[in-house]
């Protein structure tokens, strides 16, 4: 868990790793949302809900992993 502690939220649109667009949030990521054919999307608690609906290729039903403390 401590490995991911400095991870930053990429929500709610889930900018890809080669492209930092898609987010204006700088909060620490707390959850990781699984996606199809893409790296998991790390998001803060505020953007967890929106990212499930707005980010591309999110699995449904969602698979969410807790990676940090709120």
Cα–Cα distance for residue pair 20/61, rounded to 1 Å: 26
| Closer residue to Zn ion (CB): 34 or 54 | 54
| Token pair 């990212």 in the structure block, residue | 51
Task: Specify burial of residue 16 (Cβ count, 10 A radius: 0-12, 13-18, 19+).
Answer: middle
Taking the complex as a whole, the smallest distance from the CB of residue 50 to Zn ion amounts, in Å, to 9
Does residue 47 belong to the site contacting Zn ion (CB under 5 A)?
yes
Does residue 30 belong to the site contacting Zn ion (CB under 5 A)?
no
Does residue 44 belong to the site contacting Zn ion (CB under 5 A)?
yes
Q: How many residues does the chain have?
A: 70
Does residue 25 belong to the site contacting Zn ion (CB under 5 A)?
yes
Query: Of the ranges 21-29, 32-40, 50-58, 60-68, which one interacts with Zn ion (CB under 5 A)?
Result: 21-29
Does residue 9 belong to the site contacting Zn ion (CB under 5 A)?
yes
């Amino acid at each position: 868990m401590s490995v991911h502690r400095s991870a930053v939220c990429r929500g709610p649109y889930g900018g890809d790793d080669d492209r930092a667009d898609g987010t204006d949030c700088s909060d620490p990521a707390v959850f990781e949302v699984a996606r199809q054919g893409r790296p998991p999307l790390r998001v803060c608690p505020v953007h967890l809900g929106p990212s499930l609906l707005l980010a591309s290729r999110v699995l449904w039903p969602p698979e969410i992993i807790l990676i940090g403390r709120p």
